[in-house]
Amino acid sequence: MKKILLHQMPNEMPQDILHFVSKANIYDSSCSPEARVYFIDKGNGYYLKCSGSGKLEKEAKMTEYFYSKKLGAEVLSYISNDRDWLLTTAIIGEDCVYEEYLMSPTRLCDTIAYELRKLHETDYTGCPVMDRTTEYLSLAEKNYHTGSYDNSHFPDSFGYRSAEEAHAVLTAEKDALQSKVLLHGDYCLPNIVLNNWKLSGFIDVGSGGVGDRHIDLFWGTWTLWFNLKTNKYYERFLDAYGRDKADESILKVVAAAEVFG
Same domain as 83, residue 206: no
Verify whether residue 16 is a known catalytic residue. Answer: no
| Close Cβ partners of 92 (under 8 Å, ≥ 6 residues apart) | 44, 193, 195, 200
Let me know the angle formed at the C-alpha of 5 by 99 and 201, rounded to the nearest 5 degrees.
45
The pLDDT value given to residue 170: 96
* Cα(72)–Cα(89) distance, integer angstroms: 9
Q: How many residues does the chain have?
A: 261
User: With the C-alpha atoms ordered 101, 107, 113, 115, is the resulting torsion angle positive or negative?
Assistant: negative
The residue range of the domain holding 134 is: 94-258
Same domain as 105, residue 72: no
The pLDDT value given to residue 23: 83
**What is the CATH number for 122?**
3.90.1200.10
Query: Half-sphere exposure (CA, 13 Å, Cβ side) for 170?
Result: 25
* Mean pLDDT, all residues of the chain: 93
pLDDT of residue 34 exceeding 80, the answer is no
Label residue 30 by pLDDT band (50, 70, 90): confident
Give the bridge partners for 181, in sequence order.
211
Q: What are phi and psi of 135, to 5 degrees?
A: -60, -45
* 34 against 50, higher pLDDT: 50
The pLDDT value given to residue 1: 61
- Residue 40 burial (CB count, 10 A): 22
Q: What are phi and psi of 240, to 5 degrees?
A: -70, -35
Same domain as 18, residue 133: no
pLDDT of residue 42 exceeding 80, the answer is yes
The distance from CA 251 to its chain's CA centroid, rounded to whole angstroms, is 17
**What is the CATH number for 39?**
3.30.200.20
Query: Half-sphere exposure (CA, 13 Å, Cβ side) for 194?
Result: 21
Same domain as 82, residue 153: no
Same domain as 159, residue 238: yes
- Choosing from 186, 204, 212, 216, which is the catalytic residue? 186
The pLDDT value given to residue 106: 98
**Domains contained in the chain, number:** 2
Closest by alpha carbon to 205, among 81, 72, 13, 18? Answer: 72
Same domain as 198, residue 99: yes
* Cα(59)–Cα(34) distance, integer angstroms: 13
pTM (two decimals): 0.94
Final residue before a domain boundary, out of 89, 104, 130: 89
pLDDT of residue 4 exceeding 70, the answer is yes
Q: What percent of the chain has pLDDT over 70?
A: 97
Same domain as 67, residue 126: no
Label residue 58 by pLDDT band (50, 70, 90): very high
* Cα(218)–Cα(75) distance, integer angstroms: 28
* Cα(49)–Cα(7) distance, integer angstroms: 18
* 36 against 173, higher pLDDT: 173
The pLDDT value given to residue 29: 84
pLDDT tens digits for 176-210?
Answer: 998 899 999 999 999 999 999 999 999 999 999 99
Same domain as 85, residue 98: no
The pLDDT value given to residue 234: 96
pLDDT tens digits for 132-165?
Answer: 999 999 999 999 999 999 877 777 667 788 999 9
